[in-house]
Amino acid sequence: MAGRVPKGRLARGSKLGRLAAGQAVREVGTRLSMIGRTEQARRILAERSTLQAAQQLVTVLGGMKGAAMKLGQMLSVLDVDLVPEAHRELFRVKLAELRDRAPTVPFTAMRKVIEDDLGPLAAVFADFDQTPVAAASIGQVYRARLHDGREVAVKAQYPGVDEATQADLRNLVFVSKLWKSVLPSAADAAVLDEIAHNISSELDYLREAHSQHRVASRYRGHPFITVPDSIEEHCSRHVLVTEFVEGKSFQQIQALPESERDRIGELIYRFYVSSLFSDHEFCGDPHPGNILLAADGRLAFVDFGLYNHMDPVHVDFERVCMVAAGENRAEDLYEFWAARGIIDPDFGVTTQECLEYVWAAAGWHLLDEEITITPELATGALVLAVDPRAAEFRGMRHQLLPAEHVFSRRADLFTLAVLGQLHATNNWHRIAREWLYREPPATAIGQAIARWHGDLEQAI
């Protein structure tokens, strides 16, 4: 049946099994067949393998939606490590279909979801466009107009996606086999539990509406950033109604001049990274589909299903570890991690190894010079962060990332990936010093935001 989401654990597990097995055979077969061949043959085989793997991921993960499709969206912003460099762009573009052109569910099925929660469409909306403007991992987004004239975005969950997502989560250990090229550490039980908790929370649109309203209030009147407010009286467990943002897509942003992309890059950094240290809250789902350049020139951020609060004690732990690494205090960093249980001294990890690991994964925050973020740099940082089995970090394979830090690190790494898609340039360390050392802002954007905060405080 068109638009039907497979719900059963076994049905969904078998799909994932076929996908994982097919991918493994292709990887081994391609590698073996490349031995002794010319560079031209390697390119042909690599291209064939890359396109076949990408198409299969799009078809299977896109049709499943739920938690499995979230994996595809995450992969789509990276240059996957196992794909030969010459063909990584092909792979990324194909996987971007999961983000930008996800399979849609017929409006008749989606209308039932909306009306089951809100009542007849005509009672809430003066006008409702039945063509979705976006398709996300657990729902579709429509444009509509309320009776008071406000243009709104209506996000409705796919029929049965809650059961489907719960089936994905029950299969999470099995699903993690698909992640081994990008997220091998996801096999850790604490990491899996944290992922399950966060993805489950995405199903609660009332929770998301409350989070989005709080963030929208925080950014109301901001000179550079806007967050569309939720219309909480029209939100329910399965339907989220928010203000509609008219603007340029991320793909259009990528085509802007370099100086504008750099400006937008700083705003992305401040929203997704700096907010953790200033507000003890952060959005755990940075990806291009959640970023728009609004008509008024401000950068708009949407989708708050993975919005997280972190205990200030844990936030400060991240900060002091980064400061120690930035100041090359390897012994202090080692002691912080050992005391926290992140590393076990019995496994022989050295102080220098800890320091070099942080610089490989997060050095873009620490190096005091301009850096242009590229997809290759972003992917390298993510792979080293989550799969420290490279020779130079062999002792780090036994590290244990505490559960409360899983999604903040994910947010950091995927912010880097988004900036890589923009090829954004900045001295990121100069921005980071605001939260690393509580220094006043050094950039024009940071100074303007500080003045806005000051004016706001005076008004209050």
Sequential DSSP letters for 229-277: PB-GGG--SSEEEEE---EE-HHHHHTS-HHHHHHHHHHHHIIIIIHHH
- Name which of 67, 83, 9, 91 is nearest 186 in CA terms: 67
- Please tell me the distance from the alpha carbon of residue 283 to that of residue 290, in angstroms, as a whole number: 11
161 against 104, higher pLDDT: 161
Mean pLDDT of the chain: 77
**Residues 107-159+204-308, CATH architecture:** Orthogonal Bundle (1.10)
Whether residue 251 is predicted with pLDDT greater than 50 in this model: the reply is yes
CA torsion, points 217, 218, 221, 224, in degrees to nearest 10?
A: -130
For residue 42, what pLDDT is reported?
Answer: 39
- In terms of Cβ atoms closer than 10 Å to its own Cβ (0-12, 13-18, 19+), residue 459 is exposed
The ranges assigned to domains in the chain are 9-100, 107-159+204-308, 310-459
Give the model confidence (pLDDT) of 185-242 as tens digits: 444 555 566 566 666 677 889 999 999 999 999 999 999 999 999 999 999 999 999 9
The angle at the Cα of 318, spanning 313 to 320, to the nearest 5 degrees, equals 90
Residues of the chain with pLDDT > 90: what percent?
Answer: 42
Distance (Å, whole) CA 11 – CA 374: 39
Between 400 and 441, the higher pLDDT residue: 441
Contact 61, 98 (CB under 8 A): yes
**For the ranges 18-27, 51-60, 297-306, 449-458, which has the lowest average pLDDT?**
18-27
- For residue 1, the model assigns a pLDDT of 42
Tell me if 219 sits within 8 A of 225, measured CB to CB.
Answer: yes
CA distances from 247 to 9, 292, 421 (A): 39, 6, 19
Rounded to an integer, the average pLDDT of 86-112 is 70
Structure tokens that stand for 361 in this block: 């994964």
Task: Using only the alpha carbons of the chain, give its radius of gyration.
Answer: 22
Lowest mean pLDDT, pick from 3-17, 56-70, 272-286, 372-386: 3-17
Whole-structure pTM value: 0.77
The C-alpha atoms of residue 61 and residue 195 are separated, in whole angstroms, by 18
**pLDDT tens string 45-60:** 345 454 455 555 555 4
Of 209 and 184, the structure prediction assigns the larger pLDDT to 209
Structure confidence at residue 7 (pLDDT): 46
The one-letter amino acid code at 298 reads R
Cβ contact 434:210 at 8 Å:
no
| Helix, strand, coil share (%) of the chain residues, nearest 5 | 60, 10, 25
What is the rounded distance in angstroms from the CA atom of residue 51 to the CA atom of residue 259?
Answer: 34
Distance CA 297, CA 415 (A): 21
Residue 454: the pLDDT is: 86
For the chain, helix (H) and strand (E) counts, in that order, are 20, 13
Q: Which of 8, 15, 89, 99 is nearest to 56 (CA)?
A: 15
pLDDT in tens, 77-95: 555 544 566 666 666 666 6
Per-residue pLDDT reduced to its tens digit, 366-416:
888 888 888 767 766 766 665 544 444 455 555 666 667 667 887 888 899
pLDDT value for 201: 73
